[in-house]
């Protein structure tokens, strides 16, 4: 079980580059199955979640090759062998659910093992099943996995039961090769969904309404190769470094930030008194998103006058809610955080009490955070959820004295070259296998 050893409480300085994280890359990798061809990805991440998806793809016959550290060739033109799918890789990543939509036009019947991921209480797949059912896809849940069968894949009118990111992505992937027209209402318009749409359009898909909650998709007979594509920089990766700068009272520049997916978070911080400047505004490497570098300066913060909560885009990103928790410990006053989306994620915020945070759990979804607080080092096992674990690490970096964070695999599912990036801005952190 790998651990991080941190000597915290230091002023940080310099630049941190935002990477593609995990959410967009895993959807893009799964969607390559629709192409039956080749694609080269630039700036692809090596996070554990991506590695597990690659293991799954390789186990069913997909050819992958890292041309260098950031350039990945994926070839899905060969035959697939679903009976050899990597069970362990499926069971430790929830992203494996995306294979359902990616495969239904290619494999009319197959079985996936039950997916894993963060332990956030009951996480239903009903939104996936209801949407796919309207497109002619039957998903039967068994004790070990999901049996998927398709007899009459066709376009349909789909109202998403929930505006979930992966559920919307599954519906999109199933629809692009389904004969006829599909309209998806109440779709997620989040960054990874938009990125998936732009990627599929580059491969010949006919999708309208990208960036809105209503998507119109005309099914095509086949998609074609894509010579190259670069995923969007991940706004949740960016928010981690923003939180780090504020929690440690440091001046940091966060480069390669996708501005459209951070503006509300930055507005909340502005209301709290946080100073920041934007520079070098430009388009992303794939040409679809506004990118900017953000410099944060040490500022005296006041607690928000209203509760903090997430919602589907264009609301405050649900994955960014936990990343506000450490910085709120440094704001004057009391903040109510309402994490309504998951059954028990707010409970994990209590782990920050072990490093001195003043947090009161009101119920499984709400906490009160009072600050400012002098955080202190401790030896803690990371919670089994990516974003709360990252929030705890940020608090430890801001805490005085030595901290040890144990069992950090969850963090490495989503943050690439974490130790190297933290050390580059002055964090005293080491990784060990014990």
- Please write the tens of the pLDDT for every residue from 117-150: 444 444 578 899 999 999 999 998 887 788 999 9
Of 229, 254, 281, which marks where a domain is finished?
229
Whether residues 221 and 310 fall in one domain: no
Of 186, 201, 229, which marks where a domain is finished?
229
Whether residues 177 and 288 fall in one domain: no
Q: How many structural domains compose the chain?
A: 2
Strands 290-297 and 275-283: antiparallel
Whether residues 194 and 247 fall in one domain: no
Task: Record the tokens describing residue 320, joined without a space.
Answer: 């960014």
Whether residues 244 and 217 fall in one domain: no
Best CA proximity match to 102, nearest among 127, 122, 73, 76: 76
The mean-pLDDT minimum among 30-44, 139-153, 238-252, 395-409 falls in 139-153
pTM of the model: 0.95
Burial of 165 (0-12, 13-18, 19+ CB in 10 A): buried
pLDDT tier for residue 116 given thresholds of 50, 70 and 90: low
In which domain, by residue range, is 220 found? 23-229
Whether residues 222 and 250 fall in one domain: no
Whether residues 258 and 405 fall in one domain: yes
State the chain's mean pLDDT as an integer. Answer: 94
What is the percent of the chain where pLDDT is above 90? 90
Whether residues 8 and 140 fall in one domain: no
Of 229, 261, 286, which marks where a domain is finished?
229
**Which CATH number goes with the domain that contains 278?**
3.65.10.10
Whether residues 133 and 243 fall in one domain: no
- Please write the tens of the pLDDT for every residue from 151-179: 899 999 999 999 999 999 999 999 999 99
- Please write the tens of the pLDDT for every residue from 62-97: 999 999 999 999 999 999 999 999 999 988 887 889
pLDDT over 60 (residue 248): yes
Backbone angles phi, psi at 342, to 5 degrees: -115, 150
pLDDT over 90 (residue 270): yes
Angle at 398 (CA atoms; ends 393, 402), nearest 5 degrees:
75
CA distance 392 to 397: 9
Whether residues 151 and 15 fall in one domain: no
Whether residues 12 and 28 fall in one domain: no
């Amino acid at each position: 079980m790998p651990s991080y050893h941190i000597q915290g409480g230091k002023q940080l300085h310099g630049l941190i580059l935002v990477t593609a994280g995990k959410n967009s890359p895993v959807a893009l990798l799964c969607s390559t199955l629709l192409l039956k061809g080749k694609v080269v990805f630039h700036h692809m991440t090596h996070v554990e979640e991506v590695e597990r998806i690659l293991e799954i793809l390789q186990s069913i016959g997909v050819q992958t090759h890292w041309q260098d550290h950031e350039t990945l060739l994926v070839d899905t033109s060969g035959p697939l062998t679903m009976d050899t799918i990597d069970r362990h890789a499926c069971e430790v990543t929830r992203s494996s659910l995306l294979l359902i939509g990616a495969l239904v036009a290619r494999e009319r019947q197959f079985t996936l093992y039950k997916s894993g991921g963060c332990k956030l209480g009951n996480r239903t797949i009903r939104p996936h099943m209801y949407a796919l059912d309207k497109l002619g896809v039957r998903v039967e849940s068994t004790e070990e996995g999901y049996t998927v069968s398709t007899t009459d894949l066709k376009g349909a009118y789909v109202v998403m039961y929930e505006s979930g990111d992966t559920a919307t992505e599954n519906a999109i992937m199933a629809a692009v090769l389904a004969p006829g027209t599909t309209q998806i209402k109440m779709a997620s318009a989040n960054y990874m969904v938009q990125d998936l749409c732009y990627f599929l359009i580059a491969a010949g898909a006919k999708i309208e309404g990208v960036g809105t909650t209503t998507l119109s998709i005309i099914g095509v007979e086949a998609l074609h190769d894509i010579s190259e594509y670069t995923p969007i920089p991940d706004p949740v990766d960016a928010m981690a470094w923003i939180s780090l700068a504020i929690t440690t009272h440091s001046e940091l520049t966060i480069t390669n930030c996708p501005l459209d997916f951070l503006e509300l978070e930055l507005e909340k911080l502005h209301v709290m008194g946080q100073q920041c400047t934007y520079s070098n505004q430009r388009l992303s490497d794939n040409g679809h998103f506004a990118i900017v570098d953000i410099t944060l300066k040490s500022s005296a913060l006041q607690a928000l006058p209203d509760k903090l909560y997430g919602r589907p885009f264009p609301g405050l990103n649900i994955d960014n809610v936990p990343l506000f928790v450490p910085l709120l410990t440094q704001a004057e006053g009391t903040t109510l955080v309402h994490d309504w989306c998951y059954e028990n994620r707010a409970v994990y915020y209590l782990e920050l009490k072990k490093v001195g945070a003043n947090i009161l759990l009101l119920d499984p979804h709400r906490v009160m955070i009072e600050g400012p607080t002098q955080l202190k080092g401790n030896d803690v096992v990371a919670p089994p959820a990516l974003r709360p674990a990252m929030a705890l690490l940020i608090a430890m970096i801001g805490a005085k004295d030595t901290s040890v964070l144990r069992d950090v695999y969850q963090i490495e599912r989503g943050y690439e070259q974490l130790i190297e990036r933290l050390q580059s801005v002055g964090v005293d952190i080491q990784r060990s296998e014990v």
